[in-house]
Amino acid sequence: MSDIFPVVKCIIDTLDRTLYASREVGDLVDSGEYILNTALYYAFGFVSGTYVNFGKIPSYLDDTAEICKEFYITPAKPEPVEEYVKEVLGISTRYLGKRMQLPYIGGHSTSQWNARSHRYAVKNWKANELPKSLKGKNLPKFGRERVLDQQNLLTAYIIPYESDADSITSRIPRYVRIGKKRSKARVKTRVVDGKIEEGEFTTNHPFGIYDYDGVPLGDLISVRMRPAPLIIQGRYRGKFVRISQADENESVILPYKLELLKGKR
């Protein structure tokens, strides 16, 4: 079985330091390597939610209920520096058959932060002068943030089911806000060829652990992230999508009929 259909490739270039808490260890807030698709549905403007979540209960299921079957947005996967130089700067990384020395860009950076309560003025209490209401409570006043730095390049794909690739592309803005501090990122889209095939396959692009109901046969690699873990690689049997790349020897392989938080609906 081999049905050809177009897929939308989204290339995300971080223009600010991008923070989201994928892991918290002590006073360290750590942003992982990937950007979850739960964030991309909002960043690309397909759904909207409240700016402040007073109940602290995610509304992903309600917000995406009307479009979750129209298409699927994958999490964004980081690309190497060589790809950034070619895609964003438009510079060839080879000269006279030799690989050029690449600049040090992208990656993560770590900084200190101060945490204060939202009041007009806060007194700096000494340890031996704490009022009774604060004694015995773990109230951190400082910490560290490890965030995605500027000039990170990430790639996500949108697999259309009930919508067509061209209409999806027209709805994605060129610049988006993403992360806890609404950092700016640039998005480039292009329509690429995809193919539906059937048989045994091994995925090589991340998707949400709750987004697919297939049972893995082996070779499973996952990574824990909030609010949903990711499957980075897995071997399955069934229908899958093969997405063509510039290098004809490489293809992106994903299960067919992925659906955002399918296992939670």
- We report the CATH number of the domain holding residue 153 as 3.30.70
Residue 158: pLDDT band (50, 70, 90) is very high
- What is the pLDDT at residue 83? 83
Tell whether 247 is covered by a domain.
yes
Q: Is residue 17 part of a domain?
A: yes
Q: What percent of the chain has pLDDT over 70?
A: 85
Distance in angstroms (rounded) separating the CA atoms of residues 30 and 181: 14
Give the total number of structural domains in the chain: 1
The answer to whether position 201 is within a domain reads yes
pLDDT in tens, 46-97: 998 776 677 777 889 999 999 999 999 999 999 988 888 888 777 776 665 6
Among 88, 78, 82, 87, residue whose Cα is nearest residue 104: 82
Whole-angstrom CA distances from 226 to 23, 42, 108 are 7, 16, 18
Domain that holds residue 202: 3-90+140-264
Q: How far apart are CA 153 and CA 147, in angstroms?
A: 14
Q: What is the mean pLDDT of residues 17-32?
A: 82
Omega into 227 within 30° of 0, i.e. cis?
yes
Q: Which of 51-60, 119-128, 242-251 has the highest mean pLDDT?
A: 242-251
Q: How many C-beta atoms surround the C-beta of residue 212 within 10 A?
A: 23
Query: Would residue 24 count as lying in a domain?
Result: yes
Q: Is position 124 within any domain?
A: no
- Write the CA distances from 248 to 10, 101, 223, 242, 243, integer angstroms: 19, 25, 28, 12, 10
- 127 in a structural domain: no
Domain assignment present for 121: no
Give the C-alpha separation, 219 to 235, whole Å: 6
DSSP lists the bridge partners of residue 113 as 143
CA atoms of 109 and 130, how far apart (whole Å): 34
For 228-237, letters b (16+ CB in 10 Å) and e give bebbbebebe
Inside any domain, residue 180: yes
Entry pTM:
0.85
Q: What does the block give as tokens for 147? A: 């965030």
Out of 8-22, 148-162, 241-255, least confident range: 241-255
Angle at 121 between CA 116 and CA 123, to 5 degrees: 75
What are the pLDDT digits (tens) for 89-121?
A: 777 766 656 777 777 788 998 888 665 555 555
User: What rounded mean pLDDT belongs to the chain?
Assistant: 86
